[in-house]
Each structure stands twice: as structure tokens, then as C-alpha cells.
Amino acid sequence: MSNTKHDSLGQRTRFVISRRAVCQMSSLYPDESYCTTEIGRLLFQPKNEWAVTGRVVDAVDVKNITGTHTDYLIEIKCIPRNNIELDDRFFTLTSRFRELNRLHANLSKLHKQLYLRGAFPHFAAPRLLGSCEPSVIAERRRCIDEFLAFVLDSEVLRKARVLQEWVEKASEHANPGQLATPSSFLYEGVNIMDAPNIVEQNGDTSQVLTPQTVPPPVSPTS
């Protein structure tokens, strides 16, 4: 009985080790089960099921004892294509330029090794000095946007191990285009024709137009 337990444990251990070894040796995840995050599983889906885009939404200078660097806040949008009941999903993550530069180098190499179509976009060159200058940040943001657009449009590169590992730190957040307002809660489920029309709002006061009854025209007397 003891030997049976040890054999079973040994088999499970060997399976886990072999699975990790395959993951580490392979440049692409073999199947969806290797994805460790929800965004990773969405990236693994075909483009005609989930389209994915990414862009830099902010760049923040961070000061520490070793100097100053720039954190790039990246938003990744996942858009369902074949199911109207599914909503768009949004993820954000923060990454430094050196991380993105390393990701670019790895995916560029993989793109070349696999003889994939399209010209892989160039990336901004690393700089030791002046990396926080507005012109440098603007160039890097443009390069990051072009890089993400190319990679996230490739079904092959979306399965790349380095990309899957990079998005592991992404967190999901609500749709920024569907911000809740007081009126949206007040008139939720009410016919739009029955709700007042808020046409102006200044400070704490607002002007509301309510429906009014218009009397019928009076016919002229003979």
C-alpha cells in the first residue's frame, strides 16, 4: 500500500516536472491549459473569437534612491467577436521600458525563427541619459503602441510563452466607457421617454426639463 502511494506521488511529480520543462523549452504554449491567467486564456483564443488591442494610456515618472525611471501604464482590451452576450474586457498593467524592450527582442527573434508574415516593428533604442525627457517618452509610447498592435494581432505570437508570462501581472477592471452616473441608477429600466432630460449641470445644481402638455391650437371663429 505504501509503495502504491509513493508510486502515485512519483508519477504526479514527474508529470508536473515534465509539464514545466515543456513549458520552459517551448517558445509557444502547446494548448490553453498552460495559460495561468484569464487574459492569457483570452489571448490564446482565435482572433475571430477574441480580438485584442493594447495601448499606453499613461506614463509616470517614478523616483527612488537609484534615480528616476518611467512606468508605462498599458491597457489591453479584449473584444468578443462571435457572441453579442459577452462584454468587452479591459486589463491594465504597468511595465518599465527595459521590460518592454526585452519582450520586444524576444518576440522579434521568435517572429524571425518561425518565418511569420509581416515586418516586425522597430523599437526605440535604450538610453542611459535623458530617458525621462518628454520627447523620448513620446517616441517610446508610439513604439510601444505599434509593437503591441502587431503582436496582439498575431494568433501565433499571442501564444508565445514570454508574452503570456508578461501579462500575468495584468489586472482586470471595469469598462471605462460605461461609467456609472446617478441618473443611470435612478432611471435604470425606465423608458427613456419617461425620464427627464438633464441638459445642463453646473456645480451642485442642474437644470431639468420635464414634459409639458401643449394645448391644441384654437380654431378661428367665423
pLDDT, tens only, 60-91: 999 888 888 899 999 999 999 999 999 999 99
- The pLDDT assigned to 131 comes to 83
Q: Model confidence over 200-212: pLDDT tens digits?
A: 444 444 454 555 5
Mean pLDDT of 170-196: 57
CB 74 within 8 A of CB 54: yes
The mean of the pLDDT values for the chain is 81
Question: With contact defined as beta carbons under 8 Å apart, do 92 and 74 qualify?
Answer: yes
| pTM attached to this predicted model | 0.69
pLDDT, one tens digit per residue, over 92-132 is 999 999 999 999 999 999 999 999 999 999 999 988 788 88
- What CATH superfamily is the domain 23-173? Phox-like domain (3.30.1520.10)
- Closest CA relative to residue 169, chosen from 69, 73, 78: 73
pLDDT in tens, 17-44: 445 444 444 899 999 999 999 999 999 9
Structural contact between residues 50 and 42, judged by C-beta atoms closer than 8 angstroms: yes
Structural contact between residues 107 and 160, judged by C-beta atoms closer than 8 angstroms: yes
Dihedral sign for Cα 171, 174, 175, 181, please. negative
Query: What is the pLDDT at residue 132?
Result: 86
- Residue 198 confidence (pLDDT): 43
